[in-house]
Amino acid sequence: KMAGSSPPWIGSAYLFLQSTCESIALPALYESSQKKPRVFRALKLALADSTGSMNGVDVLKVHCSHPHLIVQLKFCKRESCRRFLQSYREGALRKSLQSHLQLSLAVTTVPLAMELKAGSEHLDDMLKDEDHCLECIYREKPDRLRDEEITELEESLKSLTVHQSINNNVAVKDCTPLSPPSLPPSSQGSSLSPQVTFVFQGQVFANRPLLPDDHQKFAKLVSKKWKQVGRSLQRSCRALRDPVIDNLALEYDREGLYEQAYQMLLRFIQSEGKKATIARLISALEENGLISLAEELLGLHSTEDCS
């Protein structure tokens, strides 16, 4: 009944960020003209990790209020907001932001404290009641348009993404400057830094290490093509040479395809560590025509099912 006439779901919240390391002050970094784009990029990529899309949540303004960096967020879809809350509650958002800040700022670690507010409500006190959190965020309509400075930072990030995706054909690699650099095409090797974002079917996705859920879905759905995927991965992973793949097929023959595929990807993850990323697996799936499985791993199917 309400499908055609209901207003769009829009809500707002404030994310308070503070480094718990005395030598790293996030507001000071953000106030630096050189560091600001790097901090902003790390923030955007972490938010993309939390919602599954670069457009899952909009940054309206970033306030510097020592010792806090306060980020005003705008959500335009209930499902995106729900995913954000789950990521925040489980600590995945914090880990992702720490990781992206480390890469962008070239530091060893950035310990973070986070707090989430919607109006006068402290959402950290009610995270287990997800629906109530959604209600509080929905009640708080954004009180501003996107700040001009944020628009400029977004455009810089976008131009970097487009430039590098053309340069590398498949993925955007991590690089410190935000202005579009001239990068030579390079072969995919395990010595390379993990890519920050990658392009799949014209959409930009934040890169991340493979999760246990990815591992299980892959093993369940790849079926007989696990060997082909393994051979695609072997070009940048020494642990998956042909004898290894053949041995896995023999060793786990009785257990069936699921276990064979599971063990193959396990070898990849154990060998590559943090470099065993979703971008590399998606690239191998695309190469072998497994587009549907790639979409499943990126949440494209489940998103449609939820709507």
Is there a single domain that holds both residue 102 and residue 218?
no
Is there a single domain that holds both residue 148 and residue 16?
yes
Q: What's the average model confidence in pLDDT over 120-140?
A: 95
- Can you give the three-state secondary structure of 200-239, one letter per residue? ECCEEEECCECCHHHHHHHHHHCHHHHHHHHHHHHHHCHH
At 83 the pLDDT is 95
Q: Residue 119's domain is classified under what CATH number?
A: 3.30.70.680
Q: How confident is the model at residue 144 (pLDDT cuts 50, 70, 90)?
A: confident
- Point out the least confidently predicted range of 17-31, 99-113, 193-207, 260-274: 193-207
For residue 135, is pLDDT > 60? yes
Is there a single domain that holds both residue 118 and residue 256?
no
| CA atoms of 107 and 152, how far apart (whole Å) | 25
In a domain, 175, yes or no: no
Q: What percent of the chain has pLDDT over 70?
A: 84
The count of domains in the chain is 2
Domain limit, last residue, from 158, 188, 207 = 158
pLDDT digits (tens, 9 = 90+) for 225-248: 999 999 999 988 988 988 899 999
Torsion from C-alpha of 232, 237, 242, 246, nearest 10 degrees: -90
| CA atoms of 38 and 264, how far apart (whole Å) | 36
In a domain, 31, yes or no: yes
In a domain, 244, yes or no: yes
Is there a single domain that holds both residue 146 and residue 238?
no
- Point out the least confidently predicted range of 94-103, 119-128, 146-155, 169-178: 169-178
Is there a single domain that holds both residue 201 and residue 154?
no
Domain limit, last residue, from 133, 158, 183 = 158
In a domain, 144, yes or no: yes
Is the separation of the CB atoms in 72 and 66 below 8 Å? no
Is there a single domain that holds both residue 83 and residue 137?
yes
Residue (of 11, 108, 2, 101) closest to 49 by Cα position = 101
Q: Residue 251's domain is classified under what CATH number?
A: 1.10.533.10
Q: How confident is the model at residue 48 (pLDDT cuts 50, 70, 90)?
A: very high
Is there a single domain that holds both residue 224 and residue 143?
no
Is there a single domain that holds both residue 125 and residue 214?
no
Q: Which two tokens stand for residue 21?
A: 């390391």
Is there a single domain that holds both residue 46 and residue 126?
yes
Q: Which two tokens stand for residue 69?
A: 């960096």
- Point out the least confidently predicted range of 56-60, 122-126, 156-160, 252-256: 156-160
Which residue is associated with the tokens 């939820």?
A: 306
Tell me: cis bond preceding 67? Omega within 30 of 0 counts. yes
Is there a single domain that holds both residue 210 and residue 121?
no
In a domain, 242, yes or no: yes
In a domain, 222, yes or no: yes
Is there a single domain that holds both residue 146 and residue 254?
no
In a domain, 224, yes or no: yes
Q: What is the pTM of this model?
A: 0.54
In a domain, 168, yes or no: no
The parent domain of residue 29 ranges over 11-158
Q: Which two tokens stand for residue 65?
A: 């209020």
| CA atoms of 179 and 162, how far apart (whole Å) | 12
Domain limit, last residue, from 110, 128, 158 = 158
